[in-house]
Amino acid sequence: MGMPTKMPLDPDVLVRNLGSIWTFTTLTDRAALWFTTQTDAVVSAPYGGPTYVVDHRYARDLVAALQARAFVVPDTP
């Protein structure tokens, strides 16, 4: 009998490290609501959805805040 495999959870937010800026693209309504009520990130939509552009100095703290609130954020570089 094999070990049960853990099903991957669907992400709430996709994060891309682009060097001096990071992008945070919300994939769920809950994540979109959190960004609009808890941040002052600038919104643009080049990736087909609400994408927030964040200075690299704040990005890792933002990822940690999302994870602390039980949002699913795939591993980021």
Question: Which two tokens mark 75?
Answer: 């591993």
Which pLDDT does position 52 carry in this prediction?
A: 87
Which pLDDT does position 28 carry in this prediction?
A: 94
Which pLDDT does position 4 carry in this prediction?
A: 59
Q: Give the integer Cα–Cα distance in Å for 32 and 13.
A: 9
pTM value?
Answer: 0.79
Q: Where are the beta strands (DSSP E) in 1-77?
A: 13-17, 21-26, 42-44, 51-55
SS3 14: strand
pLDDT averaged per 10 residues, the chain (length 77): 67 95 93 86 59 91 95 84
